[in-house]
Amino acid sequence: MTGAPLHERGVAELAHGLAQREFSSVELTRHLLGRLEAAQPALNAMVSITGESALAAAASADGARAAGRSGPLTGVPLVHKDIFCTEGVRTTCGSRMLDNFVSPYDATVVARLKAAGTVMLGKANMDEFAMGSSNETSFYGPVRNPWNPAMVPGGSSGGSAAAVAARLAPAATATDTGGSIRQPAALTGVTGLKPTYGRVSRYGMIAFASSLDQAGVIARSAEDCALLLAAMAGFDPRDSTSVDQPVPDYAAALATPCAGLRLGIVREFFDQGLDAENERQLRAAFAVYEKLGATLVDVSLPNVGLSVPTYYVVAPAECSSNLARFDGVRFGYRCAKPKDLLDLYQRSRGEGFGAEVKRRIMTGTYVLSAGYYDAYYLKAQRVRQLISADFARAFADVDLLVGPTSPTPAFELGAKTTDPVTMYLNDIYTIGANLAGVPALSIPCGFVNALPVGLQLIGPHFSEAKLLAAAHAFQRETDWHHRAPAERH
C-alpha cells in the first residue's frame, strides 16, 4: 500500500514507511490526532485524546530513529483501552467510579509498548469495567460502529475496535474476559487476538474476573498483531499469573504454510442460534483454507454449550471480590456529604457504578454466599474443568479449531439492553476459550447486510504463532481486512 494515505496503512506498513523516512512519526501522529478529533462526535470511540504528550513522544521517536536507536515499532501510534493504567493520564475503566482517577504508574503492557517506541494517541472508550457485549454500558456513552453508526461495535473493547476499523489508529490494546477482543473485532471487520492466559502481563490492567481476563491487541491484520504481541508478551514477576516461557518470533512464523494443517470445525457452534448468512460466509472461508492445503475435520466440544451459564457464575463471583476495593474511601468516586461510614459506602458505590456492574456484583455476591457456594460457584468450576478437557481432547486430533466469532452481525444500539440474557448470548462462541485459557483470534471473512462477519480460530495453549500464521495465510488470499467503512466525519 505504498503511496496510500497514512491512515490507510497498518502497523507493518507504517513501520516500513518510518524506516524508509517516507514520513516522520510527528507527521503521522498529527494526522491521526486530527482524525480522532474529527471522528469523536460521530463514533465516541475515545475517553481521552492525549495530543500534546503524543506529539512529544513522536518527536522523541523521530530523534531515536535519527540516532540509530530504533526498533520495529518506533514511532508507530496506537490507542490503549481505558482499562490499562497510564502514568499521569486518566484511567477510567469507562466508569463514573474512576472518572477522576489518574494512575501513578504504567501497566506492564503500556510500559512495554512505550519501551518499544510506540506513541499513545489516547485512551479508548469501553464497557464499564469491561462488563458488556455492545459497548453501551460506558459512563461516557455508547461507542458507535463505523460501518453503521446506528449499530453497536461490540464490547467491551468497542472503542479500540471502532478506532482501528475507522482508520483512526492502526492498532489498539484491548482485553478479553469472555470475548471482548474477538467479538468487537468481528463486528467491526478487524483482527483481534486474545493470547493464552498468562502470556501477557495483567499488571496494571484493572481487574474484572482475574482467572479469565487477558490483555491482547486489535489491529488491521494478523501481521500487525504479530508485531505488537512480540513487544507485549513475556514473563512479568509483578503478575502472579504470568507464565515464564520464551516469546517466539511471531513475525518470522507468519510464513508457515497451511499445507497439512488440520482444522476442526466445532459442531456445536453451527447450531440454530447462528445466523444463516453468517454461516454462508464462514463456509466460504473454510473453502479458502482447503484451497491452501488445510484439512477440515468435524470435532465436538460436548460441554461448550454450558459456557455461558458457567461464565456468568464464575465472572460475577470474581468481579464482586475485585470491585470491593472501590468504596469511596481511598480513590475514585465519593458521594457528597455522607452521613456516616455506611452511607459513604452505599451511596458512593450506588452512584459510582452503572446498572450492569451492579447486576454482576449482586450475582457474584449471591453465588459466593453461605448456602449457595456449593450449588453455584463450586459446580461452575467443575463444569469449567469439563469444558477445558473438551478443548484438550479436540487438540489431540486437530491443530486449530475454527468457527464463528459471533452469532449475528452487529445489532442496533438499544436492541438488547433491556434483556441481559439475550445480550449475554452474544458471547456464546467466545467464552469457552477464556474458560479453558487457550488463545483465540477473530479475522474478517465477509459481510452480511453491509456489516462485517468474523471467523474465529482457537488454538492450544501458547500456539499464538500457529494461529497468527493461519490467519495471515487467509489474509494473503482475501481482502476482507483491507475493507474500510465510509468516512463519516
3-state secondary structure of 171: strand
All residue ranges of the chain with pLDDT < 70 are 1-2, 488-489
Kindly list the catalytic residues.
81, 156, 180
Count the Cβ atoms, other than its own, within 10 Å of residue 314. Answer: 25
Q: What is the dihedral of CA 38, 112, 208, 137, to 10 degrees?
A: 0
Residue whose entry in the numeric block shows the C-alpha cell 500500500: 1
Angstrom distance (rounded) from CA 158 to CA 483: 18
What does each C-alpha distance from 122 to 18, 29, 47, 67, 85 come to in angstroms?
21, 11, 8, 27, 12
Query: Is-contact 93 128, C-beta < 8 A?
Result: yes
Strands 262-266 and 191-194: unpaired
Q: Give residue 478's pLDDT.
A: 98
Indicate the residue type of 49: I
Q: Give residue 252's pLDDT.
A: 97
Query: Is-contact 451 187, C-beta < 8 A?
Result: yes
Angstrom distance (rounded) from CA 244 to CA 73: 24
As beta bridge partners, residue 320 has none
Rg, C-alpha atoms of the chain: 21
Q: What is the dihedral of CA 280, 281, 282, 286, to 10 degrees?
A: 100
213: DSSP letter: -
Q: All 3 cell numbers of residue 58?
A: 513522536
> Based on the number of CB atoms within 10 Å of its own CB, is 388 exposed (0-12), middle (13-18) or buried (19 or more)?
middle
Angstrom distance (rounded) from CA 280 to CA 445: 10
pLDDT tens digits, 160-176: 999 999 999 999 999 99
Angstrom distance (rounded) from CA 411 to CA 134: 9
State residue 367 phi and psi, 5-degree precision.
-70, -15
Which CATH number applies to 11-258+448-454+475-482?
3.90.1300.10
As beta bridge partners, residue 448 has 451
Q: Give residue 38's pLDDT.
A: 98
Count the Cβ atoms, other than its own, within 10 Å of residue 4. Answer: 10
Q: In what order do the strands lie in the sheet with 451-458?
A: 46-49, 119-124, 77-81, 171-176, 214-219, 191-194, 440-448, 451-458, 400-404, 262-266, 295-299
Residue whose entry in the numeric block shows the C-alpha cell 462488563: 131
Domain coordinates of the chain in residue numbers?
11-258+448-454+475-482
Q: Give residue 488's pLDDT.
A: 65
Q: Give residue 2's pLDDT.
A: 57
Angstrom distance (rounded) from CA 444 to CA 405: 10
Q: Give residue 32's pLDDT.
A: 98
